[in-house]
Amino acid sequence: MSPLDQLIEALRVLPGVGPKSAQRMAYHLLQRDRQGAARLGASIVTAMEKLKHCQRCNSFTEADVCERCLNAQRDPALLCVVEMPADLAMMEQTHTYKGLYYVLMGRISPLDGVGPRELQLEKLIDRASDGVVNEVILATNFTNEGEATAHYVGAVLQARGIKVSRIARGVPVGGELEHTDIGTIAQALVERRSL
């Protein structure tokens, strides 16, 4: 395969990119923005080499344990479970939460072939069973998949005697944290209820 065909083929790894749009992207990179393309290539290589999952929160980090997890100012008795790093970022922006996090890196979604096994909940269970965590706050989305994930994760943790709460349904039903205003998220956090 020529470097051009290889590039077009490789671009299809991106979500939602089919053959036509991979071709369009390749021409765009080659024709309009070679500098940006070189930067993109290098950034991908660097990111794949350097980024791994934090041993504690499962988010992406260069270190074994990320800075947030090592921050002694945060309350280690509270562990907030979110679906994705973008959700964690939204929680942080509320300035309402001073505990720690666990990022599932997904949600239970049978249609996408993601069951409880794929979420590797053992890692969360270990994390929540460290003897310091006093309460796990479930902050998955209020979509069907996020709710199913909260129910499942909540049941698994409760079965191990861990106290679990769910952020309040202040987030509109069907809504996603990433697209919710900060005030609503803050309220939902304060009004979390025990499971």
Residues that bind a second copy (CB under 8 A): 2-4, 6-7, 9-11, 13-15, 20, 23-31, 33-34, 36-48, 50-51, 60, 62, 84-86, 105-106, 178
CB of 149 to Zn ion, least distance (A): 20
Q: Which does 41 bind (CB under 5 to 8 A by kind): Zn ion, a second copy, none?
A: a second copy
CB of 19 to a second copy, least distance (A): 10
CB of 85 to a second copy, least distance (A): 7
Tokens for 30? 């080659």
Question: Is residue 157 close enough to count as binding Zn ion by CB under 5 A?
Answer: no
d(CA 12, CA 23): 9
Alpha helices in 2-62 (DSSP H): 3-11, 19-32, 34-50
Of 66 and 171, the one with the shorter C-beta distance to Zn ion is 66
User: Scanning residues 72 to 101, which ones bind Zn ion (CB under 5 A)?
Assistant: none
3-state SS, residue 55? coil
The region of 61-69, 71-79, 104-112, 137-145 touching Zn ion under the rule CB under 5 A is 61-69
The one-letter code for the residue type at 142 is F
Order of strands across the sheet with 164-166?
A: 99-103, 75-82, 135-138, 164-166, 193-194
Q: How far apart are the first and last CA of the chain?
A: 56
**Cα–Cα separations (whole angstroms), residue 39 to 1, 45, 183:** 23, 10, 37
CB of 39 to a second copy, least distance (A): 5
Of 48 and 173, the one with the shorter C-beta distance to a second copy is 48
